[in-house]
Structure 1
Amino acid sequence: MSIEAMACAAEALGSQTNLAKELGCTPQNVQHMCATGHVPAKHVLRIEAASGISRSRLRPDLYPDSPATLEQSLPGKVAPQQSEKPAVNPSSAEVAL
């Protein structure tokens, strides 16, 4: 919920009135969102599609930043280690058909 994010969204569309037309709501509703930084959940995805402002900036409580991937969270490059043991028990592999 960011006042800055809503201001950027309105700016990307040219005005708060243009954003209101895009959302199908009144300019007063958009002005309230810009003033308070509170974006109703029903408008988040439309604002993102129209303005390019990410949903995580508009409503971080609903759309948190994506967590780091496994590769990003590991320190350095660690190659997976395989055991020297066979995957199949040798006694079960020798079963006659």
Structure 2
Amino acid sequence: MASVIKAVGSQTALAKILKCTPQNVQRMCATGHVPPKHVLRIESASGVSRTLLRPDLYPEAAPTLNQSLLRYELEGQPGNPSVNLSSTGGAQ
């Protein structure tokens, strides 16, 4: 919540954006709990990801096929096959 407050300027400014009381915003800051009804508006106003605000409601997206393939290619070492060629009858 500290990054949200920094982005919007103050707890009072956030309260105005959310159309709630400053005490409500202070409670969110103190507990770190953001009510579901405020998540998207806070994300829009502050740029702080909904995943950071409520990971239980907005978990990180699963990687796409392209991201998975890229990770696989990056982890693989050229010249270091994952299958031992001698065990498959390949060239030695």
2:14 partner letter: L
Query: Post-superposition shift, 1:10?
Result: 1.0
Map of 2:73 onto structure 1: 76
Moved over 4 A (4+): none
3-state SS of 2:73 partner: coil
Q: Does 1:11 align with 2:6?
A: yes
The answer on 1:24 being equivalent to 2:19 is yes
CA distance in 2, matches of 1:23, 1:11: 16
Instruction: State the Cα RMSD in Å.
Output: 1.3
Unaligned runs of 5+ in 2: 75-92
1:1-97 correspondence to structure 2 within 5 Å = 6-74=1-69, 75-76=72-73
Q: Deviations over 1:22-53 (max 9, x none)?
A: 00000010000011010000000000001110
Q: For 2:67 and 2:8, how far apart are their aligned partners in 1? A: 35
Unaligned runs of 5+ in 1: 1-5, 78-97
Higher normalized helix content (fraction of residues) = 2
Q: Distance in 1 between matches of 2:40 and 2:25?
A: 15
Give me the TM-score of the superposition, normalised by structure 2.
0.74
Report percent identity of matched pairs. 69
Where does residue 90 of structure 1 map in the other structure? none
Give the TM-score normalised by the residue count of structure 1.
0.70
Rg larger in 1 or in 2? 1
Q: Which has the higher contact order (CA 8 A, sep 6+)?
A: 1
